[in-house]
Chains A and B, each alone.
Chain A
Amino acid sequence: MVSAAQVAVEVDGLSKRYGTLEAVRSVSFAVERGEVFALLGPNGAGKTTTVEILEGFRSRDAGTVSVLGHDPSGRPRALRERLGIVLQELAVEPNLTVREVLTRNAGYYPSPRPVDEVIALVGLEGKASSRIARLSGGQQRRLDVGLGIIGRPELIFLDEPTTGFDPSARRGAWDLVRALQEGGTTIILTTHYMDEAEALADRVAVIARGQIVALGPPSSIGGRDVSEATIRFRMPPGVAASDLPVPARAIGEFAELTSADEIESLHRLTGWALERALPLTGLTVERLTLEDVYLRLTAGSDGAGSIGAPTEQLSASVGGRR
């Protein structure tokens, strides 16, 4: 148990419905101060609804929520001054410049970051005097992030911060998240990219159909760390699967085996190959990827259509990295 002072966010039994749709169903989790916490799930899983309740924008139907020691439902200003929020949609007055909007919003907070520092942090130095309407989509998104951090927040919500980014902009955003974490900021982000959750988050909650289906560090979520490893290599010339010292099956020109104790299996296999001076080209050892776990956990989910048909998901979950 962590002490109350170390908890940034505590959610217990949170539920929310829109009409008859149960968008969030009895969700519970806690986020420690300084942690990067990811809500990972397909479109429509309930990620935005959950964070908007934490932000105080949306009411909840059931459950208790504490954000930096406040119940966000009354939208206390003392809480809003300590939060940074990056929404999924872009929204800034089009005829103001980057510097003007940042300066204006800085005035809403008790101890904002210097405007120039924020402009540099989000890489908009060359655009400080440009009107918002003339920024590219990526630049607007970066301004969005700038508006999220201008108030020197203790806790930042990033709702799908890199959706629509090209790979280099994405790396830039990731670097910024890491820099913010190093500065002690607690970060709650939503994403439907598994690599993003894996790269950034200390802990991930996989959410599907409004429910958390797995929660833990990306390295061990969904039993990744205790699952069987898959060993693959190119079948040496003139060798049949039955000749091998391990129970492998031939898949095309490759041999593949799954093993709960890959050290032992590898030892036998490589010893056998060394004795006979046979090559084991293309040798790989893989555990379940986060993607495999994710697809298995969210299989059949409403929004899962965007990431592949159910049959593909099942085969992916047994096959390891393709």
Chain B
Amino acid sequence: MSGLALPSKRGTVVADVMMVGRQLRYEQLNFWRNRFGAVFTVGFSVIFLVMLAMSGATHRAAAIGNIALIQYYVPGFAAYGLMSACYNNLGISMVIRRETGLLKRLRLSPIPSWALVGAILANAAVISIVQVILLLLIGRYGYNVVLPHVWAPFVLAIAVGVVAFTALGAAVSTLVRSQESAGPIVSIIFFVLLFLSGLWFPLTPGSGLAKLANYFPIHHLILATAAPFDTAPGASPYAWHDLLVVAIWGAAGLIVAIRRFQWEPHRH
């Protein structure tokens, strides 16, 4: 009954990696062509930054060591853009893919599941990186933001953020059962936590809000991306504690995502 299991001619690692690349290309096409999704995910981080800059963020703020607020908003909105792509957009789109049967169809096709999942994650990473670069350019050339002298700590913070928030996006997608509720549920969690994150206004240290925000990863990712931009003498560009909190949340998200993941739509 086993028959001869002919080895797949194209089953080499190189061919499979190329398959991820091909799949990623179509993921990108599908993402950027959806104007609403692209604006909501990418446009907002830019719009927020520009709006805040226009409303006086180029002034210096005593609460954060007398530096220009924009110096804090650029990495802050880079973190926002990353979370918007990896958590919000990926979380919603995973629910839609699952509930419309898209995941099921791809599961039945010959593309290896890891190549498919890899392309979906790489898609979120690419969207994040595009935003980060866009925001850095706007900050540098639009508002004279001082960019980090060494890039390693910033790149590390972005990398940890992409992995952790992608895991959290995938995790939250397993908690939502229907396509219609995906947008509201995923985004409400996101914006409530964002509000607590100190992005819109720096949190007063020791306040109740600051203590609450400390338990969630958003605030910490913003601190970790902002640290390399800190121009104060002696400030460390590596926010290890914040990175650790983000990584722990990411690991928890990964466990939930793996344990609860399913390929097929829920039955309604």
List residues of chain A with CB under 8 Å of any chain B CB. Answer: 10, 55-57, 64, 66, 68-71, 76-78, 80-81, 83, 85, 87, 89-96, 100-101, 104-105, 107-110, 131, 147, 151
Task: Quote the shortest CB–CB distance from A303 to chain B (angstroms).
Answer: 15
**Inter-chain contacts of B112 with A (CB < 8 A):** 77
A-B CB proximity, top 3 nearest: A69-B3, A91-B101, A95-B33
Q: Does B5 reach chain A (CB closer than 8 Å)?
A: yes
Per a CB cutoff under 8 Å, which of A55, A70, A104 touches B108?
Answer: A55
Q: How far is the CB of A268 from chain B (nearest CB, A)?
A: 56
B29 contacts A57, C-beta separation under 8 Å: no
Given A69-B3, A91-B104: A100 and B265 interface contact (C-beta under 8 Å): no
Q: Which residues of B contact A92 (CB under 8 A)?
A: 102, 105
- Supply 8 A–B pairs (Cβ within 8 Å), ascending by A: A78-B7, A85-B108, A85-B109, A91-B101, A91-B102, A101-B26, A105-B109, A109-B110
In the complex, whether B22 has a CB less than 8 A from a CB of chain A is: yes
Query: In the complex the two chains form, is B1's CB within 8 Å of A93's CB?
Result: no
Which residues of B, 7-21, contact A by the 8 Å Cβ criterion?
7-11, 19
How far, in Å, is B2 (CB) from chain A's closest CB? 7
Query: Which of these, B1, B6, B101, B111, contacts A90 with CB under 8 Å?
Result: B101
Q: How far is the CB of A65 from chain B (nearest CB, A)?
A: 9
Inter-chain contacts of B8 with A (CB < 8 A): 77-78, 81, 110
Chain A contacts of B108 at CB under 8 A?
A: 55-57, 80, 83, 85, 87
B178 to chain A, nearest CB (A): 14
Across the interface, which residues of A come within 8 angstroms of B10, CB to CB? Answer: 110
Given A91-B100, A91-B104, A107-B19, answer yes or no on A78-B6 (Cβ-Cβ < 8 Å).
Answer: yes
Residues of A within 8 A of B109 (CB): 80, 85, 105, 108, 151
Residue of B nearest to A91 (CB): B101
Given known contacts A71-B2, A77-B110, A151-B110, A104 and B23 CB-to-CB distance under 8 angstroms: yes
CB of A68 within 8 A of CB of B5, answer: no
Of A56, A77, A107, A131, the contact of B11 (CB 8 Å cutoff) = A77
Most buried by A among B10, B110, B264, B265: B110
The reply on B34 being an interface residue by CB < 8 A is yes
CA distance A109 to B30 in the complex (A): 22
A67 to B: closest C-beta gap in Å: 10
- Say yes or no: B26 contacts A96, CB within 8 Å: yes
Q: Max chain A CB contacts within 10 Å: which of B102, B107, B108, B264?
A: B108
Q: Is the CB of B5 within 8 A of A70?
A: yes
User: A interface, by DSSP: helix, strand, loop or mixed?
Assistant: loop
**Looking at chain B's contact residues, is the secondary structure mostly helix, strand, loop, or mixed?**
loop
Instruction: Chain A residues near B104: list those with CB within 8 A.
Output: 57, 87, 89, 91
- Contact A78/B22 with A91-B101, A95-B29 known, Cβ cut-off 8 Å: no
Q: Is B150 an interface residue (CB 8 A)?
A: no
Residue from B5, B30, B107, B263 within 8 A of A96 (CB atoms):
B30
Q: Does B4 contact A (CB under 8 A)?
A: yes
Cα–Cα, bound, A71→B1 (Å) = 8
> Interface code B230-268, partner A: CB below 8 Å = 1, 0 otherwise?
000000000000000000000000000000000111000
Give bound CA distance, A131 to B33, whole Å: 10
Which residues of the other chain, B, contact A83 by a CB distance below 8 angstroms?
108
Given contacts A70-B2, A81-B8, 6 further A-B contacts (CB under 8 A): A57-B107, A57-B263, A68-B3, A70-B5, A91-B105, A100-B26
Q: Which residues of A contact B22 (CB under 8 A)?
A: 104, 107
Q: How far is the CB of B26 from chain A (nearest CB, A)?
A: 5
Q: In B79-124, which residues have CB < 8 Å from any A CB?
A: 100-102, 104-105, 107-112
Which residues from chain B contact A93 at a C-beta distance below 8 Å?
26, 30, 102
Q: How far is the CA of A147 from the CA of B109 in the complex (A)?
A: 10
Q: Which of B3, B29, B34 has the most A CB atoms < 10 Å from its CB?
A: B3
Cβ–Cβ < 8 Å partners of A151 in chain B: 109-110
Q: How far is the CA of A95 from the CA of B101 in the complex (A)?
A: 16
Give Cα A131 to B1, complex, Å. Answer: 43
Using CB atoms, name the residue of chain B closest to A57: B108
- A91, A101, A109 — most chain B CB neighbours (10 Å): A91
Please judge, given known A-B contacts A96-B29, A108-B110, whether A69 and B2 are in contact too, CB under 8 Å: yes
Whether A76 touches B5, Cβ cut-off 8 Å, given contacts A89-B100, A91-B102, A110-B10, is yes
Smallest Cβ distance from A190 to chain B, in angstroms? Answer: 15
Q: How far is the CA of A105 from the CA of B22 in the complex (A)?
A: 10
Least CB distance, B103 to chain A, in whole angstroms: 8
B43 CB to closest chain A CB, in angstroms?
17
Q: How far is the CA of A88 from the CA of B197 in the complex (A)?
A: 44
**Beta-carbon contact of A89 and B265 below 8 Å:** yes
Distance between B22 CB and nearest chain A CB, rounded to angstroms: 6
Question: Complex: how many Å from CA A104 to CA B29?
Answer: 12
Identify the interface centre among A56, A69, A101: most chain B CB within 10 Å of its CB: A69
How far, in Å, is B100 (CB) from chain A's closest CB?
5
- B110's contact among A10, A57, A80, by CB below 8 Å, is which? A80
Contact between chains at B26 and A104 (CB < 8 Å): yes
Closest to B112 in A: A77
B9 x A69 contact (CB < 8 A): no
From residue A274, how far is it (CB to closest CB) to chain B in Å?
Answer: 63
Checking A10, A69, A108 against B111 with a beta-carbon cut-off of 8 angstroms, the contacting residue is: A108
B110 CB to closest chain A CB, in angstroms? 4
